[in-house]
Structures are given as C-alpha cells and as structure tokens.
Amino acid sequence: MIEELEFIEHLGNIKKLMMASPYGRANKTVLKYVDILIDVHQKRFDEYEKTMEAEMSYKVNDEVKEDLYEEGLEQGLSEEEAEKFVEEQFEARSA
C-alpha cells in the first residue's frame, strides 16, 4: 500500500505542476482526470486502511479473550466457567 500512497503523492505533484504552468488551467479536462485518479486511489487506500484496522481489532480482541480464558483456568474454573468468565470480563472491559 506504500506504492498507492506514493502514486497519490505523484498525482498531486503532477496536478501542482499543471496548475503552475501557464497552460495548465487551459486543460481542465486533464486536471479533472487527475483529480478523479487521486480520488479513486485515495478511496482504495482508505478502504485498505479500514480493513486493516478491523483485522487488527479482531486479532487484539481474540488475544485478550485467550488471555482471559487462561486466567480463568488458572483460577481453577472449569472450561465452561472460564468461557463465561471471558464473556463477563470482555464485556466489562469493552464498556
């Protein structure tokens, strides 16, 4: 995804160069196309970032639940009680 960010940055630089050029403003179609490309690639990156955040959150929650389950077993709870302990503790920590 680094490449995606670099591409967005390059497109932005191209747009700035076109705007600085005396002919840049005359070619509004190309500027609009560059804007569309920037938008498309930015949306792609944003979606990737959102997906990665959700995956990381899921992994962290899963690890926390595993730790709580082990903690419950160490306290001498049965597996069923440990699962209930995990649910209660996880809900309390999430609130």
pLDDT of residue 37: 95
Tokens 């960010």 -> residue: 5
Amino acid residing at 29: T
pLDDT of residue 28: 84
Q: How many residues does the chain have?
A: 95
For 76, the domain range is: 2-94
Residues with pLDDT less than 50, the chain: none
pLDDT of residue 36: 95
Q: How far is CA 75 from CA 65, 71, 92, in A?
A: 15, 6, 18
Amino acid residing at 54: A
**Tokens of residue 1, six digits:** 């995804």
Please give the tally of structural domains in the chain. 1
Q: How far is CA 9 from CA 3, 24, 74, in A?
A: 10, 18, 52
